[in-house]
Structure 1
Amino acid sequence: MLLVFLHAFSTLKIPGCNFGDLSSSSCPPPLLKIWAHSDKGPSPSPYVATLRALVQAAFCMAMFLYLSPSHPLSWFIDPAYQEWGFWRKLSYQYMSGFTMRWKYYFIWSISEAAMIISGLGFSGWTESSPPKPKWDRAKVVDILGFELAKSSVLLPLVWNIQVSTWLRHYVYERLVKKGKKPGFFQLLATQTVSAVWHGLYPGYIIFFVQSALMIAGSRVIYQWEKAIPTNMALVKKAFAVMNFAYTLLVLNYSCVGFMVLSKHETLASYGSVYYIGTIIPIALIILGYIIPAKPARFKARKEQ
């Protein structure tokens, strides 16, 4: 009964759910696809995939319950927190964000299980031999992909995936003029829409503006990395590590606003580490204009 309720809740709440799939005669509903005859083999069973999602949900809730007592959000305005050193404050911001994310991983895993057991999570078959059923139509988050993201640009692809897909298709891409490349304006506008969709709290607004800066700064690092010749592998790896560290730092700095929601607590947290997560992205964006990345050129070998 709980899974049925969560299935209905998930379907209505997530704007990335395409109801056209359920009504279009040219695209049979996923639920019917499961039971339809297929040359791939017998009709797939959703039970194993559902159980996997439920086990993941249980693990996520256990992690949240274990970590949350030692990382309360109230510490950001506690006088004792202000007396900590710079690195300890940064590490606490990371652990607070890391802890809170398990709560979202839990509910998204539950909703994914509900969608899978209903049949709406079925997305087709793999190309392997023998083919295996895929149950990622309703996938909302890739936990490892998010926690180990090599670049901030990858974060929307693995976090709240259905909403991110909806925002990209209906906001971001529609703001790009024909024949032109998307820029910071399209990114900021998309993140602002996401902030309003979440709720008109100062913390949401600050976080999503921060996320636009974060992604733009990460793009600059990535462009510099691409411009490095392939024969300088060590330098390319150094830039890749830099992008990973940058993402880790700025993400967990920024997400405090998403968690505490109030302007006072958000700015108190940012100010406690000298606004490092705001200054670095802005500095990178400016440097991207001053030192634009140029494609690496290779001299072709002359045939002898």
Structure 2
Amino acid sequence: MFSTDYLDWAEGNGIWAHSEKGPSPSPYVATLCALVQAAFCMAMYLNLAPYHPLSWFTDPAYHECGFWRKLSYQYMSGFTMWWKYYFIWSISEAAIIISGLGFNGWTESSPPKPKWDQAKVVDILGFELAKNVYERLVKKRKKPGFFQLLATQTVSAVWHGLYPGYIIFFVQSALMIAGSRVLYQWEKAIPSNMGLVKKALALMNFVYTLLVLNYSCVGFMVLSKQETLASYGSVYYIGTILPVALIMLGYIIPVKPARSKDRKEK
């Protein structure tokens, strides 16, 4: 959202102006939906948090557990934490919608329906069920490189705060995204007649995303370097080794996305 959007909203111009489709619609139903989502997210967090306290990472009992128990606890700790942020983002979304600033025009359907996604921060189901972690932020006609990605994530870490846990998390997330990119490129390179292989790679990327993302976010939660490294080390740094191995394999087995006949004809 830009300052021009805010000025248009304040002055009743742009999509907020009266048109043949009618004036800006009532925001109450969309606001209620956002509040219901916020309430659900808070209920999830309050129910899960007591069973996954961060203090258990430094408890001797945690380090006596087996590998899979520790890894699953890391996953559930991350899964629990996300609901707190989902709640905050949903409340913010509701506040912007009720003001009218969340209005984003009308659909092309008949009759047209209002869109309230101007203030949408996160797609919860899309995030939780993401098949991969993949992003692009490069100049035109240039391919994204790992160092550009690392620089972006490092700036994000500094923006969040000068805590070791943030730095470790965002550097780790750069590795995570780069590893996911390799799986994504392999998946896209598989011809369409090998659908089972494509689905297997998509599933692999989905599992990889769930595992590495929630492993990585321990640093974001505990902030301490000692606790973060102790947590990563308790599962043999699997969430760091796996992305690095994929990045190396990406150089050893480079691929180009398969082009369909339709695209070639165009």
What interval of TM-score do these two structures reach, taking the shorter chain for normalisation? over 0.9
Aligned counterpart, 2:255: 293
Shift of 1:182: 1.8
Distance 2:165 2:70 in 1: 19
For residue 248 of structure 2, give the secondary structure of its aligned residue in structure 1: helix
Aligned counterpart, 1:32: 12
* Counterparts in 2 of 1:35 and 1:287: CA distance versus 1, 3 Å: closer
Distance 1:43 1:21 in 2: 14
Distance 2:142 2:219 in 1: 33
Distance 2:50 2:231 in 1: 19
Contact 1:30 1:123 in 2 (8 A): no
Counterpart among 176, 180, 196 of residue 158 in structure 2? 196
Aligned counterpart, 1:143: 124
Shift of 1:255: 0.4
Contact 1:40 1:131 in 2 (8 A): yes
Aligned counterpart, 1:280: 242
Contact 1:30 1:121 in 2 (8 A): no
Distance 1:153 1:227 in 2: 16
Shift of 1:185: 1.2
Amino acid at match of 1:286: M
* Counterparts in 2 of 1:289 and 1:96: CA distance versus 1, 3 Å: same
Root-mean-square deviation (CA), in Å?
1.9
Aligned counterpart, 1:71: 52
Aligned counterpart, 2:99: 118
Aligned counterpart, 2:172: 210
Size of the alignment, in residue pairs?
261
Contact 1:31 1:119 in 2 (8 A): no
Tell me if 1:21 matches 2:2. Answer: no
Query: Which residues of 2 match residues 149-228 of structure 1 at below 5 A?
Result: 149-153=130-134, 172-173=137-138, 176=139, 179-228=141-190
For residue 271 of structure 1, give the secondary structure of its aligned residue in structure 2: helix
Contact 1:94 1:252 in 2 (8 A): yes
Shift of 1:295: 3.9
Q: Mean alpha-carbon deviation: is it higher for 35-44 or for 58-67?
A: 35-44
For residue 122 of structure 1, give the secondary structure of its aligned residue in structure 2: coil
Contact 2:9 2:16 in 1 (8 A): no
Contact 1:198 1:204 in 2 (8 A): yes
Shift of 1:220: 0.3
Q: Mean alpha-carbon deviation: is it higher for 121-130 or for 66-75?
A: 121-130
Alignment deviations for residues 216-259 of structure 1 (CA, whole Å, 9 cap, x no partner) = 10010011111111111101100000000000000000000000
Q: Mean alpha-carbon deviation: is it higher for 104-113 or for 178-187?
A: 178-187
Counterpart among 40, 57, 62 of residue 59 in structure 1? 40
Alignment deviations for residues 144-182 of structure 1 (CA, whole Å, 9 cap, x no partner) = 11111000127xxxxxxxxxxxxx7xxx44xx4x54222
Distance 1:297 1:49 in 2: 41
Amino acid at match of 2:21: K
Aligned counterpart, 1:100: 81
Distance 1:299 1:35 in 2: 44
Shift of 1:29: 2.5
Shift of 1:183: 0.9
Distance 1:299 1:32 in 2: 48
Aligned counterpart, 1:10: none
* Structure 1 residue runs without a partner (length 5+): 1-16, 155-167
* Structure 2 residue runs without a partner (length 5+): none
For residue 130 of structure 1, give the secondary structure of its aligned residue in structure 2: coil
Distance 2:28 2:202 in 1: 39
TM-score, normalised with respect to structure 2: 0.93
Distance 1:31 1:267 in 2: 52
